[in-house]
Amino acid sequence: MTEHESAWLAHQRARWMRPDAERWIRPDAARFLKPGIKLADAFPTLVRKYRPDQPRIPAGQPGGGRWTDDWGSAPAALSDLIKPIPAATADDLANLREVGGGRRGGGSVGDVFPGASARQQSLLDQAMARSSSALAQIRQYDPDWKPRESNLTRPGSIDGAIAEAEARARESEAHLDRLRSGIGGNLGPPLDPPRESLPSMRPFDGQGWINAYRTIYNEPNLFGEPMWRPDNGTVAAAEIDGKLYFGVNSGSPGYGEADRFEADGWRWSLVNKYPDIMRTDNIGQRPNDALYHAEATILMRAARDQSSLLADRSIDIQVDREICNSCKAVLPKLALELGNPYVRYIEVDTGMTSVMRNGSWLLWRQK
């Protein structure tokens, strides 16, 4: 008998002594765990996922009827109930990705793309670092230059994303070499950057990461056809405090139940606090739908990871679609509630930039 089978039998024997023993845990649950995780440690976590006596949010409150996140202790404060289960109380669930669909927002390549091996993570990180560095230097001389568009219509994979990223890095480095070897053999020392009111950010190839995300999640179906067309949905990418974050709209690959749960909570909160901006009669319509868009998802994911939300941060977010009017109405208020960061959205296709702070737009879709 294997260790997994014996752990399963031991757990089932203990479960039959419980009032809820009729519930069942599949014995092959180990296939959903990361290597090295003991199945015996996972069963209690799965049991805790549901308790009949777990408190609910009182009726009439935002999200009324939903389970709280006390996990066996006192009920959570109502101000915290609009957030999904925090990572601090879900360490043993992180490997199962059971907390509302997992934490697909930020961290390493392996956190965002859980199917990537350590070698694949390293190769993708290295290629993206090369293109980010080259593009940052190119923009000092040729701010309008862009690498060729990736072919996102064919079925993708992690290895395909690595190949695309390496090709993008080689093309960027080659163009930088051509700029440096102009008349006289070089262009001289770099010019001072232009003065601007926008805070400078370290090099980050948002378009490259967006391409990687779309390529990896564009896996072929049973007929070998791509599952996610490049014209479907929006992808947002940013690096915040050294962590990689993505945002996608609901219904897109990588959008989980934790994202929807949190968006639902913020929708109720903003409807109650800003009834002159939010739709109060039919809360599922515009502009409330902005909370389920990529531009909002990436902010909520980042705030979920930060103990102080997003206060005192300057954030560059690159998106591969135009920002819609629903986002124009809702995003500044959401950001204000998430700590009031200085946020700059850059549309990679149009070059338009939008900046928000203090609950309003300082700049809206300008070059």
Q: Is the pLDDT of residue 101 over 50?
A: no
**Tell me, what's the pLDDT at 362?**
97
Q: Which of 8-17, 227-236, 243-252, 340-349 has the lowest mean pLDDT?
A: 8-17
For 221-252, the pLDDT digits (tens) are: 777 777 777 778 999 999 988 889 999 999 89
Residues 6+ apart with CB under 8 A from 158: 113, 115, 116, 120, 124, 216
Q: Is the pLDDT of residue 275 over 90?
A: yes
- Stronger pLDDT, 148 or 357, i.e. the higher one: 357
Q: Is the pLDDT of residue 103 over 50?
A: no
**Tell me, what's the pLDDT at 36?**
61
d(CA 333, CA 231): 28
**Tell me, what's the pLDDT at 67?**
55
The crossing angle, in degrees rounded to 10, of helices 294-305 and 257-273 is 100
Phi and psi for 16 in degrees, rounded to 5?
A: -70, -10
**Tell me, what's the pLDDT at 94?**
39
Share of the chain above pLDDT 70, in %: 62
Q: Which of 37-46, 102-111, 348-357 has the lowest mean pLDDT?
A: 102-111
**Tell me, what's the pLDDT at 271?**
94
The band of 198, judged by pLDDT with boundaries at 50, 70 and 90, is very low
Q: Is the pLDDT of residue 196 over 80?
A: no
**Contact (Cβ atoms closer than 8 angstroms) between residue 216 and residue 113:** yes
Phi and psi for 166 in degrees, rounded to 5?
A: -65, -40
Q: Which of 119-128, 197-206, 267-276, 344-353 has the lowest mean pLDDT?
A: 197-206
Q: Is the pLDDT of residue 335 over 70?
A: yes
Average pLDDT over residues 145-164: 73
This prediction's pTM: 0.62
**Tell me, what's the pLDDT at 86?**
40
**Tell me, what's the pLDDT at 303?**
92
Token output for 247:
């945002």
Q: Is the pLDDT of residue 52 over 80?
A: no
Q: Which of 51-65, 108-122, 160-174, 288-302 has the lowest mean pLDDT?
A: 51-65
What is the average pLDDT value for the chain, to the nearest integer? 75
Average pLDDT over residues 28-56: 58
Share of the chain above pLDDT 90, in %: 30
H or E element, residue 330: helix 325-337
Q: How many Cβ atoms sit within 10 Å of the Cβ of residue 333?
A: 20
Q: Is the pLDDT of residue 4 over 60?
A: yes
For 158-184, the pLDDT digits (tens) are: 788 888 888 888 888 888 888 877 644
